[in-house]
Structure 1
Amino acid sequence: GTVEVKEILLKKYSPYYRENILFDVHDGALDIKTHYTYSNDDKAPVMQLNGLEAGLNSLRLRRIGDEKDVIAIPVTTVKDTVVDFEKKDVLIGGLYSQKGIINVKRFKDGKWNLGSLIKGGEWSLRNLLKKPAAPAGKDQKGKAVVPEKPWQITLKSLLAEGYGIQFEDAQPSEPVTMVADRIKLQEENLSTIANTKAKVLLTCRINKTGSVSVNGSFGRNPVTGNLKVNAKTIDIAPFQPYFTDKVKIIVTDGEVSAKGSVLLGYSKVAGVQVTYKGEASLTKFASVDKINAEDFLKWNSLYFSGMDIGYAPLSVNISEVALTDFYSRFIINPDGTMNVQNIVAQEEEKAGVKVAAVTVPQGMATKENQSQDSKAKVRTGDASADKKDTVQKMIRVEKFTLQGGTVNFSDHYIKPNYSANFLEIGGRVTGLSSEETRMADVDLRGKLDNYAPLEISGKINPLREDLYVDLKVDFRDMDLSPVTPYSGRYAGYTIEKGKLSLSLQYLIVKKKLDAQNRVFLDQLTLGDKVDSPDATKLPVKLAIALLKNRKGEIELNLPVTGQLDDPKFSLGSVIIKILINLLVKAATSPFALLGAIFGGGEELSFLDFDPGSHSLGEPGIKKLDTLVKALHDRPALKLEIEGHVDLEKDKEGLLQYLFHKKIKAQKLKEIVKAGKTAVPVDEVKIEGSEYPKYLKMAYKAEKFPKPRNFIGIAKDLPVPEMEKLMLTHIEIKDDDLRSLASQRALTVKDYIIKSGEVEQERVFLVEPKTLQPEKKEKLRDSRVDFRLK
């Protein structure tokens, strides 16, 4: 027979179905027409519907108590439908619907409005893709249970067009609102029958500027699919509320596009498997720092090509990532914090969010970590303890390129403020991989303020568990006068001129760092004194003078080694400590610093003399030659010379010196009388055989009273008695000792200046406060002390 019913008002018959729903049918009329066959034989009644056609017009559904429709569909038509009740089989020839409006909303508690339209109703993509559960094999009594045959539904043709979806998400602190319109969905052979695939075509517009199209095949039992996806210029700004509580930036622009294939599959071990192959891009991205209200990060294009990304198991393979025309802003705020460290919201930081990964040693995992691990294994269906390692080995980026980059740096903490720009940042990193044995090649370049080139080259592997780095960084010809705000605050002087170059080499293997930090300063010249409470009290100018060679160059090599997993180790702190120690050494042991360069060490700070002498011996001359060489190569240094004496030893030594000088004077007289060339008296040599002769002549020349015989004639005395009488009548006064100290200083000065390597105006004689110097272990008091200025 045939049955036809028209204008069935759904709202009128709500008492029959209200107990099973949580919504109001605000409007809707149903038309149905079908042929049917019915028979009642001995086994069971048999019924079949053929040629069923239905039309549902003006359907409007509302959640109870709401004033806005959840679903509003003007026209829905079903044609050529066959329902076989015996076989539990439904074949729908065609379903057509148009201009429907669906309002989707997630509430603050995370529940969905559509999921709560039916009692016990719950829907999600996870449930949609979930494989149907296998029926139980036996009942409670242990008897085999024959599963009841489920209904099989097949839709041969579906066309829904002109649809719109209004989406609202109230869960974020700021609600999210999005619109998808011009939706067109076509499907063929959509079925619940196992191992069947439907053809799908979906197109829509997103927020009036973007578009999405999906075309391909899809099956639900088991989950399988091969879908071509093409998304164009989808504005990401509406998604801002999803991370506004986590980061303190505002995304002001940005468009996502993607073109590729989505492959769906299912395995008993991993569950639903998803793979994306294709390309994607994020273009015209721009963001603003909320605190400073300034540009933070932006770029023209971030492009991914050759993508092969899978889930269950997770794998990332990308042929190339290209970032072009990018800009980044780094600011040190007036309170000393950085805009980068303020980007992550404090709530996240308190929750334990950290940049670096933390590995919990075996046997030390917390219950929370163990629980999270267990959940992760349940989700993936993988019970292997080495799953983490497996995932890590499946990450690969063949090439990452940078082009046209700019980094703008401003320091608002220092007064006056400082700014700098890194420009033309570009280069590439090739061969990034989580494979243990594969290293990526790095070649990056840029410029500081157009003139100081920066080059970074070498090999790295940041993706493997054991970080590997072998990098060389070259930075040349940075003008130092712009960094005067820093030198003024911390060194106490402005910088008049100078250039900085760096050559850095870093090797990290098995968490051990070996760093070579070579610093080259050219023509560094300090300017005016700056009154700063933060300035060091150490002698910065002296340190520079000690280090700067005759060409105006300073070369420093600062090697650093340490274990990165040692919480007490910090590369920056070690380098700062080395520099501070350098200044301390300049203040307390400048000659040790100078001696480390030219040899001689702390020994260069003094020069020993024999008691009573101001003559330079061979060791003294050798030491002075080293000092002259150092002063010649360090033209900014000035030398102060201070002569001293040992009050006891030099008095005795001076006595002997004057005694022997008198004897030498007698021989010098004979030399002159003989018409020979005169020499300084100190250079006259007395042979052993000559000594009694010239001693007797010197004794006779002395004016003190001499022993005489009974007739008044001076007696001839033996050598020891003549020596004793002469020594007794030589008087050494303080002025003689002072003169000796001065003569020692003058002798040293003369030698240095006569070398021709050191200018006279750089060498100063200093009057000692006391003739006898400060006592120093293992040093004679008979010496000259040096000071550098």
Structure 2
Amino acid sequence: MRKPDIAQLKSLFLRYRRKLIIGVSVLFFILFVSGLSGYIFLPGFIKTKAQQAVAEQLHRKLTIEDISFNPFSLSVTLKGVTLSERDSEEVFASFDRLYVNVSTFSAFTFSPIIREVELENPYIHLSRTQHNQYNISDIIDMVMKPDEEKKEPLSYSVNNIQVDGGKIIFDDHPMKAQHRVEEIKVRIPYISSSPSRVETFIEPHLSALVNGTKMELSGKTRPFAEDRETIFNMALKNIELPGYMQYLPYKPAFHMVKGNLSFDLNLHFIQYASKPSDLDISGTAQIDSLMLTDLARKPMLGFSKLAIKLDKNAIFASDYHIAHIELAHPEVYAVNSAEGHLNLLDLAPKTANAPPKKTAADGEVKEKAMPLKLALKQFVLSGGKLSYTDYSAGKPYNFTVNAFNLTVDDVGVDMGEKSARISRIASDSAELEMALEKAQGRRQASPGGSGSGSSDFRVDIGSVDITNWSAHMQNKNLRKPLGAKITGLAASIQEISTEPGKISTLDITADVDKKGHIAVNGKLGIAPLSADLAVDLKQVSIVAIQQYIDEYVNLTLRQADVSTKGHLTLATGKGGALKGEYKGDVSVANLMTTDQIKGDQFVRWKDLSLKQLHVQLSPFSLTARRADLDSFFARLILSSEGRLNLQNILRSEAGGKKSLTDSDEHHEAPVTEDVASAPSSAQPADGAEKPLQVASVSQALQQAEASQVGQGSPPADASQQEKAAGEEKAAAPATAIETTVDMEINEVVSRPVAAVKTAGTMPPIRIDRFQMTNGRVRFTDNFIKPHYTANMDRVRGVITRISSASNAIAIVDLRGQVNRAPLTVTGSLNPFNPAFSLELEGHVKGMELAQFSSYSTKYVGYGIEKGKLSFDVTYKVENGELSAENRLVLDQLTFGEKTEAKPVISLPIQFAVNLLKDGDGVIDISLPVSGSLNDPEFSVGGIVFRVIVNLIKKAVTAPFSLLAAAFGGGEELSFLEFDPGKSDVTDKGLEKLGTLVKALQGRPALKLDVTGCYDPEADKAGLARQAINRKVRELKRKEMGEKGENLRLSQITVSDKEYAKLLKEVYSDADFKKPRNFIGFQKSLPAAEMEKLMIQNYPVTEEEFMGLADKRAANVKAWLLDKGEIPQERVFIQASKKKTGDNATRVDFSLH
């Protein structure tokens, strides 16, 4: 290119010089005028327009202290800008200075290019006035209002953005809280939508103090690229979480007492134009000193530290990689209420009815959720504590774990593959405590839903290793709390898998209560369940199982040590039924059980061993070659329904507790350890009172008197006897003697007995030989009435062929002693047969009675000089029919002289002996018991015996019952009834007098007292009716005499028609005030009403009543002397007396 000629240029300048000077001058003038306008006029114009626009659009007041505009540098500076709240003078937002510098290139690119933005000390005040209402709600609504016309995106570029000293104050009035974001500092190199720069990363940086906690955000982003990408780091330290609880989207049912959150997270987000977005998160997060409580401020959950280290986590792809989780000193306090509500559920929001799910609109792509994948390198828990209390079953149950350490390595979960893999689970410390507390009340938990189903999800665990575990189990729901402690628990399980057919190896060892040891090893399968284990237990206490069986049994297991060595196999059969067997030897040593209700000892022994035991599960069966029981005690009770208390160990389906040691009719004192283990002896300890085994002798007397009203017992009458019985009841203690055979004679009665119910078929049970040594049995028979109790010592013997087969019969051969008297029990029985089949004989021979002298002295005031007792009993039950023979022989029972000490009960002992002894000095009573157990009207056809003192009591309080039974009568001989108002003995009374004569002739030492009685009401009515009849007959005899007919008064009969007519005359002549009509005349009444009035007004004197009673006694004595030929010196008439009530018109008898 040719260079311009200088001469030509000079010539050209000279030619246009004038015009050029004029143009330049005009240009400078325009610039001067524009600059002058920008400095002087434009700021005022902008301020005015801005204030007007803000007032119109935002209803707020805008204040600008200063605006400066530099048209040469294209910059504007605003100072002291303040924006008020809507319709208020309060400051909403402000800043000290805003500087904006626009690039001149904007004129050439036709898009705004800002070179620099500086904002100093910006301030914003946000306020929430009520739910979802803020002081900027109107601004938000205006901004969110959609544009009516669609505009093309504006290309712009903003560079060098700087914000310093920013502050945001947020007042939350509904929550009465304030939040502060201060020291806001923002650095953004540029933001540009220019096509040439959209692929370049922007690297913003933000820092601030959030409620005093430093927060930093830094990273890079491409917000306008086709594939938008953002990478930034967010770090926050020690955020106090309780202050943010109020912003949960639901009202929490718990309190957060404390807790600090810190995190340092890296987020990488890519929004692709043609494929699903990606979001990756990595970094660390940590919560320190967390404590949650319920609304009552009781602790629920807490820990000192939860630290999580995240590797790359693809959130949208559900692919999570966690490098490490550390949980330090976690504490969980779980409580299941009486209503069955678990408190930990309160940590989650209350579920509500979810709105109907929205379906994707037409053309909208609905992304399918990716299956979860999780990889956890390591989880470490240290110093953990768990406390669980359950009140739902009525008896509070506590479960606590302390000092729990756990490490889990290499966890992998793939929900797509439906599998989970754990390399190793290890724990080197745990202290477990389980306690069943005393019940505060009982409430049945609400039944929860149940379901069943199968899952093909597979879980594999390489190994589980446990060391140094301990467990303490305690049942505080007993009078003496039970407990067991396991220490040194170690377990190793290798290759655990839910894959069908996979087998694991198992090895467990532990020490129990210092003396016991557990060792189990072998193979274990999970799917299906199977086991092939060698079991070796040595003196392992099993009392801890009480808390699990407590609701199903009526006994309390207080001590029991199990030893066994054998082999256990388990397998899952068709339908999921568990099959298996155990073979080996088993022994249970030092067993102690008590009754749950009374706390009395039920069964105890030193050792029970089973040799060659074989137990099968499905179907259940049990066989043993031999069983040996040594040094045992058993409390056996045969109920009035014919059911042995051993059958009540398991509670019935009807539920509820039932005592195993309380007899039906007698509430006995508890059998204490000292008494139960003491040797047989008839002598009480010094100063101790051990009355015979009767609930109370005085109570028995009182009951007998109540049932035998009117039976004689000299020297007192019935009222005196009742008073004496009351005194004896107050004086007699009710303690038990452990070394006597107690018997009682009661009157033969009929009573209903519940039918024996046949249960389902018993499983096969067989014990070839059961041998007992050195035993004690306390047996009470309530099946027959009266009941009796026997205490047997030194029990030994053999029971062979024990079997649950319906036709199997076990052979019994037992020996022992009862108060040093030999005892034998022989026969056969089937204890497992619901039909209760047995045939047993028991014999006690020659028990010396002199050893009971101290007791007879205490109770009746006479010591026993000599005498022997023998007792034979035979029971046979077959096909629901009972037959029994019972015989009691008291040979030469002789009492000594009466002591000066006041006895507990005053009984004429010699009278009783005379009543019971035969001519040879023997009291011998032997009567059968028979009947059908299935008959509700089962009748006891004979008498069994209870106690010597009760024999005497029966003789004294009900002698006539014994006499009637002994001499062929069943009538009540203690009194003789008369018709009201009469003294003649009736035909029925003559029969009773005949029986009484036989009894008196058979007991020549007895004397009889006769006491006449009258009833003022009944006898008055009888006497009045006789007087009325006599006057009616006298009137008829008078009428007959006027006709010439003369008859004796006893010969005259009166017809009903005549009686009504004559009764009216008798009524008119009677001297008493009679009812009258309204004009004053005597009112006409029916015959029955006239009779009633005459009876009511009939005058009877006390002398007439006493004369009637005297005549009754005299007539009876005369018959006994004349017809019965009883010597006069044996019959005495007592003073007559008044009686009331039923059968009071009578003569009472008493013997002495």
2:105 pairs with 1:88: no
Q: Is the 8 A contact 1:406 1:424 kept in 2?
A: yes
Give yes or no for the alignment of 1:75 onto 2:97: yes
Is the alpha carbon distance of 1:302 and 1:560 closer, same or farther for their aligned partners in structure 2, counting shifts above 3 Å? farther
Check 1:493–1:64 CA distance in 2 against 1; reply closer, same or farther (3 A cut). Answer: same
Q: Deviations over 1:141-198 (max 9, x none)?
A: xxxxxxx76432212211111111223567xx74664221111101112222241432
- 1:686-739 Cα deviation digits (max 9, x unpaired): xxxxxxxxxxxxxxxxxxxxxxxxxxxxxxxxxxxxxxxxxxxxxxxxxxxxxx
2:553 aligns to what?
538
Partner SS state of residue 197, structure 1: coil
* Cα distance, 1:294 vs structure 2: 2.5
Identity of aligned residues (%): 12
Go from structure 1 to structure 2 and tell me whether the alpha carbon gap of 1:80 and 1:430 turns closer, same or farther (over 3 Å shift). Answer: same
Equivalents in 2 of 1:218, 1:282: separation in Å?
29
- Alignment of 1:258 with 2:240, yes or no, is no
Please list, as runs of the form range in 1=range in 2, the aligned pairs for 1:459-498 lying within 5 A after superposition: 467-469=457-459, 482-485=474-477, 488=478, 494-495=481-482, 497=484
Amino acid at match of 1:598: H
2:384 and 2:164 map into 1 onto residues whose CA distance is 45
1:236 aligns with 2:271: no
Partner of 1:688: none
State which drifts further: 229-238 or 93-102.
229-238
Q: 1:61 to 1:539 in 2, by over 3 A?
A: same
2:157 match: 154
| Among candidates 350, 355, 375, match of residue 396 of structure 1 | 375
Contact 2:105 2:113 survives alignment (8 Å): yes
On the 8 A contact 1:331/1:410 being kept in 2, the answer is: yes
Once the two structures are superposed, the pairs formed by residues 648-687 of structure 1 within 5 Å of their partners are none
Pairing partner for 2:67 from 31, 34, 40: 31
Q: How does 1:445-464 map to 2 (within 5 A)?
A: 445=427, 447-449=429-431
1:751 shift after superposition: 7.5
SS in structure 1 at match of 2:330? strand
- 1:308 aligned partner: 312
Asked if 1:785 is matched to 2:837, the reply is no
Q: 2:400 aligns with which of 378, 396, 420?
A: 420
* Matched residue, 1:569: none
Q: Whole-Å Cα distance in 2 between the matches of residues 289 and 555 of structure 1?
A: 49
1:719-769 CA-to-partner distances (Å, cap 9, x unmatched) read xxxxxxxxxxxxxxxxxxxxxxxxxxxxxx99855xxxx534279999999
Residue in structure 2 matched with residue 201 of structure 1 by the alignment: 205
Q: Distance in 2 between matches of 1:81 and 1:382?
A: 44
Code of the aligned partner of 1:440: I
> Residue deviations 1:640-685, cap 9 Å, x none?
9x9xxxxxxxxxxxxxxxxxxxxxxxxxxxxxxxxxxxxxxxxxxx
From the CA coordinates, give the structure whose radius of gyration is larger. Answer: 2
- Structure 2 vs 1, CA of residues 637 and 397 (structure 1 numbering), >3 Å: closer, same or farther? farther
Secondary structure of the 1:368 match is: coil
Call closer, same or farther: CA 1:109–1:774 in 2, change over 3 Å.
Answer: closer
Q: CA shift at 1:111, angstroms?
A: 6.4
Q: Which secondary structure does the structure 2 equivalent of 1:152 belong to?
A: coil
Letter aligned with residue 60 of structure 2: D
Letter in 2 for 1:287: L
Task: Determine the C-alpha separation between the residues in 2 that align with 1:600 and 1:191.
Answer: 83
Q: Indicate which of 270, 291, 295 corresponds to 1:290.
A: 295
CA distance change for structure 1 residues 109 and 780 in 2, over 3 Å: closer, same or farther? closer
Q: Is this contact kept in 2: 1:396–1:432, CA < 8 A? A: yes
Give the letter aligned to residue 25 of structure 1: K
1:431-455 CA-to-partner distances (Å, cap 9, x unmatched) read: 2332625512341426554799xxx
| 1:13 and 2:10 correspond | no
Correspondence 1:211 to 2:214: yes
8 Å contact 2:171–2:178 — kept in the other structure?
yes
Equivalent residue in structure 2 for 1:524, among 523, 541, 561: 541
8 Å contact from structure 1 (residues 9, 30) kept in 2: no
Say which SS state the counterpart of residue 24 (structure 1) adopts: coil
Output the CA distance in 2 between the equivalents of 1:296 and 1:310: 33
SS in 2 for 1:268: coil
Q: Are residues 563 and 18 of structure 1, via their aligned partners in 2, closer, same or farther at CA, if it must alter by over 3 Å?
A: farther
Deviations 1:614-654 (A, max 9, x none): xxxxxxxxx9xx452x336x9879799x9xxxxxxxxxxxx
Contact 2:625/2:769, CA 8 A, preserved across alignment: no
**Equivalent in the alignment of 1:692:** none
Query: Residues 260-659 of structure 1 correspond to what in structure 2 (within 5 A)?
Result: 260-269=265-274, 273-291=278-296, 293-333=297-337, 337-345=341-349, 348-351=350-353, 368-369=356-357, 371=358, 374=360, 383=366, 387-388=368-369, 390-393=370-373, 395-410=374-389, 418=398, 420-434=400-414, 436=417, 437=419, 439-445=421-427, 447-449=429-431, 467-469=457-459, 482-485=474-477, 488=478, 494-495=481-482, 497=484, 508=498, 514=528, 523-524=540-541, 536=551, 538-540=553-555, 549-550=562-563, 597-598=613-614, 626-628=624-626, 630-631=627-628
- Name the CA distance, whole Å, in 2 between partners of 1:340 and 1:302: 19
Deviation of 1:213 after TM superposition, in Å, equals 1.5
Q: Mind listing any 5+ residue stretches in structure 1 that lack a counterpart?
A: 36-49, 137-147, 353-366, 453-464, 565-586, 588-592, 607-622, 643-748
Give the deviation of 1:217 after TM superposition: 2.1
Within 5 Å, give how 1:44-59 maps onto structure 2: 51-59=73-81
Conserved 8 A contact 2:51-2:62? no
1:504 Cα deviation from its structure 2 partner: 11
**Distance across 1 between alignment mates of 2:425 and 2:781:** 61
2-side partners of 1:203 and 1:554: how far apart? 72
How far residue 241 of structure 1 moved from its aligned partner, in angstroms, is: 1.2
Q: Which runs of 5+ in 2 are unaligned?
A: 1-30, 435-454, 501-525, 577-601, 603-608, 639-766, 785-801, 812-826, 833-1152
Inter-partner Cα distance in structure 1 for 2:244 and 2:128: 15
The one-letter amino acid of 2:271's match is Y
How many residues matched?
542
Q: Is the 8 A contact 1:189 1:197 kept in 2?
A: no
Match of 1:759 among 773, 776, 793: 773
The corresponding residue for 2:185 is 184
Return the alpha-carbon distance in structure 2 between the equivalents of residues 112 and 83 of structure 1.
41
Q: Partners in 1 of 2:574 and 2:180 — Cα distance?
A: 55
- Work out the CA distance in 2 between the residues paired with 1:75 and 1:603: 92
User: Structure 1 residues 419 and 231 mapped into 2: Cα distance closer, same or farther (>3 Å)?
Assistant: same
CA shift in 2, pair 1:402/1:10, >3 Å: farther
CA distance in 1, matches of 2:82, 2:311: 43
Say yes or no: does 1:165 pair with 2:168.
Answer: yes
Deviation digits for residues 473-505 of structure 1, max 9, x if unmatched? Answer: 9799865553333xx4xxx98425565989899
Mapped to 2, the partners of 1:403 and 1:185 lie a distance apart of 42
Paired residues of 1:75 and 1:97 also in contact (CA < 8 A): yes
Kept in 2, the 8 Å contact 1:473–1:504? The answer is yes
Q: Is the 8 A contact 1:203 1:214 kept in 2?
A: yes
- SS at structure 2 position matched to 1:398: strand
Q: Say which SS state the counterpart of residue 281 (structure 2) adopts.
A: strand
User: Which deviates further from its counterpart, 773-782 or 66-75?
Assistant: 773-782
Change (3 A) 1:319 1:495: same
Where 2:347 maps in the other structure, the secondary structure is coil
Partners in 2 of 1:254 and 1:26 — Cα distance?
Answer: 43
Structure 1 SS opposite 2:73:
strand
Q: 1:193 to 1:275 in 2, by over 3 A?
A: farther
- Tell me, in whole angstroms, the C-alpha distance in 2 between the residues paired with 1:602 and 1:52: 97
Contact preservation (8 Å) 1:249, 1:288? yes
**Distance in 2 between the 1:325 and 1:600 partners?**
46
Q: Is the 1:14–1:25 Cα contact (8 Å) retained in structure 2?
A: no
Structure 1 residue identity aligned to 2:773:
E
- Cα gap change, 1:111/1:509 in structure 2, threshold over 3 Å: closer, same or farther? farther
Query: 1:12-60 CA deviation, whole Å, 9 max, x = no partner?
Result: 435752587324133124524243xxxxxxxxxxxxxx62111122222
Render the CA deviation track for 1:506-543: whole Å, top value 9, x for unaligned: 86569x9755799989643669x99xxx9646355689
Distance 1:637 1:603 in 2: 32
Contact 1:595 1:604 in 2 (8 A): no
| TM-score, normalised by the number of residues in structure 2 | 0.40
Q: Check conservation: 2:254, 2:346, Cα contact below 8 A.
A: no
How many angstroms apart in 1 are the aligned matches of 2:465 and 2:68? 78
